[in-house]
């Protein structure tokens, strides 16, 4: 099959679950003998409006997303402009050699114009991969409302839908209202392609520091502010604890920095044991997973929770929230602990409990690694995706 994967979140070095998913799927599809082109926007200026990059067996077709200055003032126009630019690249590539499948995530709009204004024949099948809907983001801008309308259009006009968790699939179905007869498949994420099941041995420690690791963008949905509220209690109760934070910092409402807003007023004794790394690359990220004792993900919503899977792969227990698809990845009391959303007191109690009880913490970590190797084995996601693609291509349209 010739497959186009459309995305605006790329490359995967960024802390974006969508970008990491797109690359992993692309690598898996190529390994299975399929031809893959990732079509992504880029803010970097090229000599022309497009640039093609070869990456590990698949091609990235970069689209320069510059736009008139006046349109930049209106985020909704920005979405449509990026969509139109990507469609132009998609049409040109489709004319050269037709795609059979075009896949795109629900929270981006690169495929919107392509869905509304169909590509030249032969028509590909349009597949929507469900991620966290914009309805789960804090509604601080009108753009969120517009986004929900665009998402609904994409869902209703797609040929098939893939969900990454039961919870998120049901939520999206309620929000978008797509027909139950629309072809759909639940396909959980798995480990990065090429990863082999392994027994993660904890690094030998030269100190007695108990490290808590948070990885995520500085935004409302990821819930770092809840962790920031809990951290002073934890640091007082566990004097040897340290909080390491990594992720892109973003503006928040009238504040220039979400991170600065979240830690405003934090006692000095807690700040002294908090380390903010900012955006980290793949190598540093993996090292932080290996060095930590527990990974905390206090998200208000996650469609799946890829960070949980990454932490479990290193044999680390996860403390997260009972929200979205997280409980389908983290099993409470077995591979980690789940607390109510927005409950900083419950979060601090869970972290204190897991840091104080070494045997419990290590057992959760062992269970997490075993569960990853059993339920999220490499290749399953790609095989199930290819099977769904094939079923769509066999569908005979009504006469």
pTM over 0.75: yes
- Per-residue pLDDT of 323-372, as tens digits, reads 999 999 999 999 999 999 999 999 999 999 999 999 999 999 999 999 99
Longest Cα separation, the chain:
71
Q: Determine the 3-state secondary structure of 352 from DSSP.
A: helix
pLDDT computed for residue 296 by the predictor:
98
pLDDT computed for residue 66 by the predictor:
60
pLDDT computed for residue 379 by the predictor:
85
Strand partners, 103: 5, 127
Strand partners, 3: 36, 101
How far is 379 from 19, CA to CA, in rounded Å? 18
CA 270 to chain centre: 29
Residue with tokens 């597949």: 127
Q: Determine the 3-state secondary structure of 313 from DSSP.
A: helix
3-state secondary structure 210-221: EEEEEECCECHH
Q: What are phi and psi of 33, to 5 degrees?
A: 90, 10
How far is 387 from 399, CA to CA, in rounded Å? 25
- Per-residue pLDDT of 150-185, as tens digits, reads 788 888 888 999 999 999 999 999 888 888 889 999
pLDDT computed for residue 145 by the predictor:
66
Please list the ranges in the chain whose pLDDT falls under 70: 11-16, 42-50, 65-80, 108-117, 137-146, 193-206, 395-399
pLDDT computed for residue 15 by the predictor:
54
DSSP state of 142: H
Residue 48 exposure: Cα atoms within 13 Å on the Cβ side: 6
pLDDT computed for residue 236 by the predictor:
96
pLDDT computed for residue 114 by the predictor:
61
- Per-residue pLDDT of 275-305, as tens digits, reads 999 988 878 888 999 999 999 999 999 999 8
CA separation, residue 286 to residues 290, 292, 312, 314 (Å): 6, 10, 12, 9
Alpha helix stretches (DSSP H) within the chain: 17-31, 69-72, 75-96, 112-116, 142-157, 166-176, 224-237, 258-262, 268-271, 282-291, 306-313, 344-356, 358-375, 380-393
Retrieve residue 217's tokens.
């963008």
pLDDT computed for residue 73 by the predictor:
57
Cβ count within 10 A of residue 279 = 14
If you write DSSP's letter for every residue of 183-230 in order, what string do you get? Answer: -EEE----SPTT------PPPPPSS--EEEEEES-BSGGGTHHHHHHH
């Amino acid at each position: 099959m010739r497959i186009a994967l459309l995305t605006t979140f790329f490359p995967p070095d960024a802390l974006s679950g969508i970008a990491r998913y797109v690359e992993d799927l692309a690598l898996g599809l190529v390994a299975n003998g399929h031809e893959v082109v990732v079509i992504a926007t880029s803010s970097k200026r090229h000599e022309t409006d497009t640039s093609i990059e070869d990456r590990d067996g698949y091609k990235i077709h970069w689209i320069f997303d510059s736009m008139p200055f006046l349109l930049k003032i209106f985020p909704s126009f920005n979405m449509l402009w990026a969509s139109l630019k990507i469609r132009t690249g998609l049409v040109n590539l489709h004319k050269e050699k037709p795609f059979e499948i075009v896949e795109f995530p629900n929270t981006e709009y690169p495929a919107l114009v392509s869905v509304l204004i169909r590509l030249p024949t032969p028509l590909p099948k349009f597949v929507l991969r469900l991620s966290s809907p914009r309805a789960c983001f804090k509604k601080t801008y009108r753009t969120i409302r517009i986004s929900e309308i665009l998402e609904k259009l994409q869902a209703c006009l797609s040929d098939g839908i893939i969900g990454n968790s039961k919870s998120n699939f049901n939520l999206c179905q309620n929000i978008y209202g797509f027909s139950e007869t629309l072809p759909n498949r639940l396909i959980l994420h798995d480990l990065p392609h090429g990863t082999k099941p392994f027994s993660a041995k904890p690094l030998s420690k030269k100190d007695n520091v108990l490290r808590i690791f948070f990885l995520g963008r500085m935004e409302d949905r990821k819930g770092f502010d809840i962790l920031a509220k809990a951290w002073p209690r934890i640091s007082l109760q566990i004097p040897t604890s340290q909080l390491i934070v990594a992720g892109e910092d973003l503006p928040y409402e009238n504040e220039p920095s979400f991170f600065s807003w979240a830690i405003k007023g934090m006692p000095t004794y807690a700040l002294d044991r908090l380390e903010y790394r900012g955006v980290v690359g793949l190598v540093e990220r993996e090292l932080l997973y290996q060095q930590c004792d527990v990974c905390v993900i206090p998200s208000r919503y996650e469609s799946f929770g890829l960070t949980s899977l990454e932490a479990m792969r290193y044999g680390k227990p996860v403390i997260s929230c009972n929200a979205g698809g997280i409980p389908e990845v983290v099993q409470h009391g077995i591979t980690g602990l789940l607390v109510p959303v927005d409950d900083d007191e419950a979060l601090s109690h869970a972290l204190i409990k897991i840091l104080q009880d070494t045997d419990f913490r290590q057992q959760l970590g062992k269970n997490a690694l075993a569960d990853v190797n059993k339920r999220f084995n490499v290749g399953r996601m790609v095989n199930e995706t290819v099977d769904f693609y094939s079923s769509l291509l066999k569908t005979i349209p009504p006469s």
